[in-house]
Amino acid sequence: MRLIDFDDFSNNTFNVVTELTYKKDDDEFRPDIILLINGMPLVFIEVKKPNNQDGILAEHKRIQTLFQNKKFRKFVNITQLMVFSNNMEYDDSSPLPIEGAFYATSSYQKPSFNYFREEQQFDLNTLLSTINDVNETAVLKDNNLLSIKNSPEFSNNKSPETPTNRICTSLFQPDHLAFILQYSIAYVKERTGLQKHIMRYPQMFATKAIEQKLEEGVNKGIIWHTQGSGKTALAYYNVKYLANYFQKKNVITKFYFIVGRLDLLIQASKEFKSRGLVVHNISSREAFAKDIKQPAARLNIEWLL
């Protein structure tokens, strides 16, 4: 059974609703904005007033408390992507995410809020459609917000250049959303249990850059990473993405992760296995030279260290 058509993403049904009630027994919560694909609430957006430094932090704590409530497990499980914004620019001097628009995936413990900085320049005139006055009035009336229609704040917030609208434009374009749902989420076995991780935004752009270079006929290259920026995780995500990329071209892939120290082999092997990859260790150059000449005979994704 296929719940989402990723081959033709436009073949799915998309709806946006406000304050859909998530309820179990006497407990309930209502996210501000919910995106449904084929009727499934996969994404929600929480928006806060700007210039409220405690707003994002309070929302982070509230979501953490909600998601730890076992009555909401079904809602947590089906939620794939969340956006939290107070419609302000990032405060890079702050060690905590207190201002800006952030994204995360669901977690039974504490969701990690991620920054997002778009690298592409979009033609917004082509990408975004206009809304006429009749439809705008209908939406505001349906949400009991008709009183703000002529306010300066509402007029300013309709601009596509606001932080909230920028992150929505980036993440929720159909091809971007399809990529996130299909490739950017990983389940990781930790000591505390199964964790759900999502790509950081540089990892998303790096993955798409690799695809672009392959399409241009470039078959080798280097990805430059700083320490702590998620090199091992990016390697995992790219195995998943590139295996599918080449399979569509009838090419069965085999991936090698080459390390220079034994401790790195142990660490990388552990990280890949915790994400569900099948890992085989190669102990010598001779064994490596022999293995690389063997065809990749299986479709399951493997790493050879």
Q: How does pLDDT run across 27-59, given as a tens digit for each residue?
A: 888 999 999 999 999 999 999 888 776 777 787
Task: Note the pLDDT tens digit of each residue in 205-261.
Answer: 999 999 999 999 998 888 887 777 788 889 999 988 999 999 999 988 888 888 888
Percent of the chain surpassing pLDDT 70:
96
- Whether residue 34 contacts residue 18, with contact meaning beta carbons closer than 8 Å, is answered with yes
Confidence of residue 296 (pLDDT cuts 50, 70, 90): low
Q: Which of 50, 18, 16 is nearest to 32 (CA)?
A: 18
From CA 74, how far away is CA 242, in angstroms rounded?
A: 31
Three-state DSSP class for residue 29: strand
From CA 3, how far away is CA 69, in angstroms rounded?
A: 27
Give the pLDDT mean for 187-203. Answer: 90
Sequence-ordered list of residues with C-beta below 8 angstroms from that of 120, at least 6 positions apart, any chain: 170
Q: Which of 280, 266, 203 is nearest to 235 (CA)?
A: 203
Q: Which pTM does this prediction carry?
A: 0.88
Q: Are strands 81-85 and 101-104 parallel, antiparallel or unpaired?
A: antiparallel
Burial class (CB in 10 A: 0-12, 13-18, 19+), 268: buried
Residue 304 pLDDT greater than 80, yes or no: no
